[in-house]
Protein backbone atom coordinates (compact mmCIF):
# COMPACT_ATOMS: atom_id res chain seq x y z
CA UNK A 1 0.00 0.00 0.00
CA UNK A 2 2.79 2.42 0.89
CA UNK A 3 5.36 0.92 -1.48
CA UNK A 4 6.30 4.28 -3.00
CA UNK A 5 6.79 6.04 0.37
CA UNK A 6 10.40 5.97 1.52
CA UNK A 7 12.00 6.53 4.89
CA UNK A 8 12.70 10.16 4.05
CA UNK A 9 9.03 10.90 3.49
CA UNK A 10 8.06 9.10 6.69
CA UNK A 11 10.61 11.14 8.62
CA UNK A 12 9.21 14.37 7.16
CA UNK A 13 5.68 13.32 8.15
CA UNK A 14 6.79 12.52 11.72
CA UNK A 15 8.58 15.87 12.07
CA UNK A 16 5.56 17.71 10.64
CA UNK A 17 3.26 15.80 13.02
CA UNK A 18 5.57 16.70 15.91
CA UNK A 19 5.31 20.40 15.07
CA UNK A 20 1.58 20.33 14.37
CA UNK A 21 0.37 18.11 17.24
CA UNK A 22 3.14 18.64 19.74
CA UNK A 23 5.12 15.99 21.62
CA UNK A 24 2.33 15.23 24.10
CA UNK A 25 -0.38 14.42 21.51
CA UNK A 26 1.80 12.74 18.83
CA UNK A 27 1.89 9.23 20.43
CA UNK A 28 -1.90 9.20 20.81
CA UNK A 29 -2.37 10.32 17.19
CA UNK A 30 0.04 7.62 15.98
CA UNK A 31 -1.84 4.96 17.98
CA UNK A 32 -5.17 6.17 16.57
CA UNK A 33 -3.77 6.10 13.03
CA UNK A 34 -2.46 2.56 13.52
CA UNK A 35 -5.82 1.34 14.85
CA UNK A 36 -7.67 3.00 11.98
CA UNK A 37 -5.42 1.41 9.36
CA UNK A 38 -5.84 -1.98 11.05
CA UNK A 39 -9.66 -1.63 11.03
CA UNK A 40 -9.68 -0.63 7.36
CA UNK A 41 -7.56 -3.68 6.48
CA UNK A 42 -9.90 -5.95 8.47
CA UNK A 43 -12.96 -4.48 6.71
CA UNK A 44 -11.36 -4.91 3.31
CA UNK A 45 -10.31 -8.51 3.93
CA UNK A 46 -13.76 -9.30 5.40
CA UNK A 47 -15.51 -7.80 2.39
CA UNK A 48 -13.22 -9.72 0.03
CA UNK A 49 -13.88 -12.98 1.88
CA UNK A 50 -17.64 -12.37 1.92
CA UNK A 51 -17.64 -11.61 -1.81
CA UNK A 52 -15.59 -14.75 -2.45
CA UNK A 53 -17.99 -16.86 -0.38
CA UNK A 54 -21.07 -15.47 -2.14
CA UNK A 55 -19.73 -15.68 -5.68
CA UNK A 56 -18.09 -19.07 -5.35
CA UNK A 57 -16.10 -20.20 -8.40
CA UNK A 58 -17.18 -17.14 -10.42
CA UNK A 59 -14.97 -15.02 -8.14
CA UNK A 60 -11.85 -16.24 -9.96
CA UNK A 61 -13.43 -15.36 -13.33
CA UNK A 62 -14.17 -11.90 -11.95
CA UNK A 63 -10.59 -11.40 -10.74
CA UNK A 64 -8.88 -12.57 -13.96
CA UNK A 65 -9.41 -9.30 -15.92
CA UNK A 66 -8.13 -7.35 -12.92
CA UNK A 67 -5.01 -9.51 -12.79
CA UNK A 68 -4.50 -8.96 -16.53
CA UNK A 69 -4.67 -5.20 -15.99
CA UNK A 70 -2.20 -5.47 -13.12
CA UNK A 71 0.22 -7.32 -15.42
CA UNK A 72 -0.12 -4.58 -18.06
CA UNK A 73 0.81 -2.01 -15.43
CA UNK A 74 4.09 -3.88 -14.88
CA UNK A 75 4.79 -4.22 -18.63
CA UNK A 76 8.40 -3.48 -19.54
CA UNK A 77 8.82 -2.82 -23.28
CA UNK A 78 12.61 -3.16 -23.14
CA UNK A 79 12.35 -6.60 -21.53
CA UNK A 80 9.66 -7.69 -24.01
CA UNK A 81 11.77 -6.65 -27.02
CA UNK A 82 14.88 -8.29 -25.60
CA UNK A 83 12.97 -11.47 -24.87
CA UNK A 84 11.45 -11.47 -28.34
CA UNK A 85 14.76 -10.87 -30.10
CA UNK A 86 17.01 -13.14 -28.07
CA UNK A 87 14.73 -15.78 -26.51
CA UNK A 88 12.55 -16.53 -29.53
CA UNK A 89 9.31 -15.53 -27.80
CA UNK A 90 6.59 -15.79 -30.45
CA UNK A 91 4.18 -13.55 -28.49
CA UNK A 92 6.16 -10.90 -26.54
CA UNK A 93 3.19 -8.60 -25.99
CA UNK A 94 0.89 -11.34 -24.75
CA UNK A 95 -1.66 -10.87 -27.51
CA UNK A 96 -2.51 -14.54 -27.94
CA UNK A 97 -6.14 -15.02 -27.02
CA UNK A 98 -7.00 -11.31 -27.29
CA UNK A 99 -8.56 -9.26 -30.05
CA UNK A 100 -5.09 -8.46 -31.41
CA UNK A 101 -4.77 -12.02 -32.73
CA UNK A 102 -6.73 -13.87 -35.38
CA UNK A 103 -10.16 -13.40 -33.77
CA UNK A 104 -12.55 -10.47 -33.82
CA UNK A 105 -13.63 -8.86 -30.53
CA UNK A 106 -16.90 -10.82 -30.76
CA UNK A 107 -14.98 -14.12 -30.79
CA UNK A 108 -15.47 -15.04 -34.45
CA UNK A 109 -12.36 -15.69 -36.56
CA UNK A 110 -11.26 -12.95 -38.90
CA UNK A 111 -11.86 -13.44 -42.59
CA UNK A 112 -8.73 -14.17 -44.62
CA UNK A 113 -7.53 -11.13 -46.51
CA UNK A 114 -8.58 -11.25 -50.15
CA UNK A 115 -5.64 -10.82 -52.52
CA UNK A 116 -6.32 -8.27 -55.24
CA UNK A 117 -6.17 -9.60 -58.75
CA UNK A 118 -3.21 -8.33 -60.76
CA UNK A 119 -3.97 -5.79 -63.47
CA UNK A 120 -4.23 -7.04 -67.01
CA UNK A 121 -1.84 -5.58 -69.59
CA UNK A 122 -3.03 -2.10 -70.59
CA UNK A 123 -5.58 -1.88 -67.72
CA UNK A 124 -5.54 1.32 -65.65
CA UNK A 125 -5.57 0.98 -61.85
CA UNK A 126 -8.73 2.11 -60.06
CA UNK A 127 -8.62 5.71 -58.81
CA UNK A 128 -10.34 6.97 -55.68
CA UNK A 129 -10.85 10.74 -56.10
CA UNK A 130 -11.64 11.17 -52.40
CA UNK A 131 -8.29 9.68 -51.39
CA UNK A 132 -6.23 12.22 -53.31
Average pLDDT over residues 19-37: 88
What ranges do the domains of the chain cover? 1-55, 57-93
What local confidence, expressed as pLDDT, does residue 99 receive?
47
> Could you tell me if 60 and 68 are in contact, meaning their C-beta atoms sit under 8 angstroms apart?
no
Please return the burial class of 26, using the count of CB atoms within 10 Å of its CB with bins 0-12, 13-18 and 19+.
middle
Burial (Cβ within 10 Å: 0-12, 13-18, ≥19) of residue 63: middle
Summarize pLDDT for 38-82 with one digit per residue, the tens: 999 999 999 888 888 888 878 777 778 878 777 777 777 887 777
User: How many angstroms separate the CA atoms of 106 and 3, rounded?
Assistant: 39
- DSSP annotation of 109 reads B
Name, in order, each residue with C-beta under 8 angstroms of 127's C-beta and a sequence gap of 6 or more.
Answer: none
* pTM of this structure: 0.40
Of 2-6, 54-58, 122-126, give the lowest mean pLDDT range: 2-6
Supply the pLDDT for residue 94.
61
Tell me the average pLDDT of the chain: 78
Amino acid sequence: MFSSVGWGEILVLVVAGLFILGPERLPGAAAWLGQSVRKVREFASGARQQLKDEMGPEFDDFRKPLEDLRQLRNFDPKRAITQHLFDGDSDPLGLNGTSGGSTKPNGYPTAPAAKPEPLKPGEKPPVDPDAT
